[in-house]
Amino acid sequence: MRPSAFTSPGRFWRGNLHTHSTLSDGVLSPEEVCRRYRAEGYDFLALTDHFLGCYNFPIADTRPFRGEGFTTILGAELHSGAMENGELWHLLAVGLPDDFAPSNSPDFRPVPDQETASELAQRAVDAGAFVAIAHPQWSGLTLSDARRITAAHAVEIYNHGCAMGCDRPDGFSIADLLLTEGRHLSLIATDDAHFSEPDHFGGWVMLKATENTPAALLAALKRGDFYSTQGPLLHDVILRGDKIIVESSAVTSAIAIGQGTGAKGVHGHSMTKTEIPLARLNNSPWVRVSVIDAAGKRAWSNPLWR
């Protein structure tokens, strides 16, 4: 048994799914944002400006900035309704149509008579988008909050902008609890780049698709045909009997993680094929893998359901 990223046809493409420009609160133009990601070796980019009235509800038209070896997927960061802490929801929507209807969201403050975040997420999915719960730790998201977003495909488990700007990059706690409740979710790492601080080129997805086109990439995202990384490469993850085998670039740790306290790490030097026994995962119905290289950079698989 293997995650779909390692069984589906095609090759891996490097992409960032969460980015901002001068169309909302970023400091670079959409054209310059795309130029920089392309120059850094990315294969695709989703420019996801804040979909708010104060910014005229932008869905950046990045189609003119596509070119040989580089493409873009239209998207936005959506907002509507209040979380339990009273603050506005943040939902990442990649693959939105450019005529997606605005919500009643004039700015970053909740207002009466808004559609709920759950309704907004469902509307985005119905419009064809890949939807993720954005930066749970930064948002102060509770499990009760997260349970309400039943239409989401994914949880943002690493946000580089939140890592650099406030040391709150994590989404694993919420993601693991939702997985334990039986939610089949994928896990994305992103930049959330605004280019106002060193918030760029720090977390991305490696997405398996037959071609680097918006339609093929979006379909692969929805299927979960990817892994997330800060640099290390995952070449294969194989669940075989009572162990999981991880093939990767050179790492010093490979860890299998399941529900509750279930986890087991194997540590060494320049490991490229690591066997991890699963006895300590307490028969978790799902398993995910994390690897760490000598520089402390990580890569994460999507959950594998047993």
Domain ranges, ordered by start, for the chain: 4-229, 234-305
Burial of 249 (0-12, 13-18, 19+ CB in 10 A): middle
pLDDT of res. 55: 98
For domain 4-229, give the CATH superfamily: Metal-dependent hydrolases (3.20.20.140)
Average pLDDT of the residues in 65-73: 97
pLDDT of res. 98: 94
Rg (C-alpha) for the chain, rounded Å, is 19
| pLDDT one-digit tens code per residue, 191-230 | 999 999 999 999 999 999 999 999 999 999 999 999 999 9
- The proportion of the chain whose per-residue pLDDT surpasses 70, expressed as a percent, equals 100
Q: How confident is the model at residue 143 (pLDDT cuts 50, 70, 90)?
A: very high
pLDDT of res. 199: 97
At residue 255, what are phi and psi to the nearest 5 degrees?
A: -130, 130
pLDDT of res. 14: 98
pLDDT of res. 16: 98
- Vertex 59: Cα angle to 299 and 140 (nearest 5): 50
| pLDDT one-digit tens code per residue, 173-185 | 999 999 999 999 9
Q: How confident is the model at residue 189 (pLDDT cuts 50, 70, 90)?
A: very high
pLDDT of res. 125: 98
Of the candidates 1, 78, 38, 76, the one whose C-alpha atom is nearest the C-alpha of residue 200 is 38
| pLDDT, the chain, mean | 97
Q: Which residues of 119-139 are buried (b: 16+ CB within 10 A; e: fewer)?
A: ebbbbbbeeebbbbbbbbbbb
Average pLDDT of the residues in 237-264: 97
Average pLDDT of the residues in 231-246: 97
Alpha-carbon 202 to chain mean position: 12
Average pLDDT of the residues in 117-142: 98
Tell me which architecture the domain covering 234-305 has in CATH: Sandwich (2.60)
pLDDT of res. 6: 97
